[in-house]
Chain A
Amino acid sequence: MKTPAATQAMITRLPPGKIGVWWFLASEVMVFGGLIGTYILTRLGSAGWSAEAAHLSAPMAAINTFILLTSSMTMVMAFAAVEKNNDRGLRTFLLLTIFLGLAFLGIKAYEYSSHLRAGFMPSTGSFWSFYYTMTGLHALHVLAGIIVNLILFVMARGPLVNGHRVELAGLYWHFVDVVWIFLFPLLYLT
């Protein structure tokens, strides 16, 4: 009952990796969506948060925003290098992305330590609870992205295989970037 033509593996041309990553990101949107929604609702329902938020350093966060946006650009350039089969370019831009990610985490760590030295603990109040939890969870995502990029960097030392993975890692990296775009005004600028 089977025809020889039935050896086609897929009826669609949709790349599984990309679809998988998009579904994963959809679930991630809900994680941060839950957290951000909770933050907004809690903040609307109580007073005195602006005074707490004033202790944060908006310039430092602005620099961090710039760094993260730049890292998204270098990630795109890494993928562009993959498409041109440019091994060297891929490694350079992956490394740049990793360094920018580390710089972001470094500045974040400096911010944390200065808050902690000033006596603002997670338990100090609702604003600080949200601040540490939201930025902390985001920082973990940045760290995960750095690890993924490091793995790609190590893999890219040989001839290019599975170059499409750079695009998939890029999707995730941009997502982490977009989350920060929401966190920055919500926490620092309001």
Chain B
Amino acid sequence: MPVIAYPEGRKSWQRRTPRGQIAVWFGWLLAVAFTAFCWRVMTEGTIWAFVWDAPTQAADIGARMIPPRWSYFPTLLKPLWDTLNIATLGTLAAIALSVPVAFLAARNTTPSATFVRPLALFLIVASRSINSIIWALLLVAILGPGVLAGIIAIALRSIGFIGKLLYEAIEEIDESQVEAIRATGASGAQILAYGIVPQIMPAFAGISVFRWDINIRESTVLGLVGAGGIGLNLESSLNTLAWPQVTLILLVILATVVVSEWVSAKVRHAII
């Protein structure tokens, strides 16, 4: 008990009980011990000669990477366009598929909390648990290399992301607005269109644009496994040790991501 009453009527108060105090100290002790242990595990397998050598190696690669090979830029335009298409089409497909899933998963809109909801939640978790690059690996094996595999990989990964955030937004709506629409004699679909959709629109727009932004970054590496886009050039440049080309590709990716973040920030601002 944090409040301690003394016989003479004085009362004192502490934040924690003595037992709680000990528990907190013990928790800190464990955290420190665990950190020390992890440090040991981490450093055990390190070959220190390589680490001491690292600055020289980095300087060496750095020197080879500069200056970027600007003449390579026109060759990058087509793969860059592919990359943007992979991200955008993948996001659009994911939006189309995840909206129904989100409504089936949200506790307040699902037709059946015992059957449909667990299924929808499973779809979301399954999609989220596999990284786009792994989806891409599988799809390149199935569909062959190319942009299509990239688009589907991006879409499959994004369904879970958009679905999860959207169903959480649906569960957080103000029910009184829904009640008011229901009270007018509106049908189920009308309640959805008037009571729920307007409330989740800002969240929906924000989530979609945010995921598009993430997908631009993810689609730049999908080429590493053959799923099209600028990653293909990155892979071939790395394999041929064409460091000046690698530098240019990284710069182009950086510029694209900066632009996409700027666009997504603008769009979100405009909608909310």
* A and B part of one assembly: no
B→A interface (CB under 8 Å): none
Residues of A within 8 A of B (CB): none
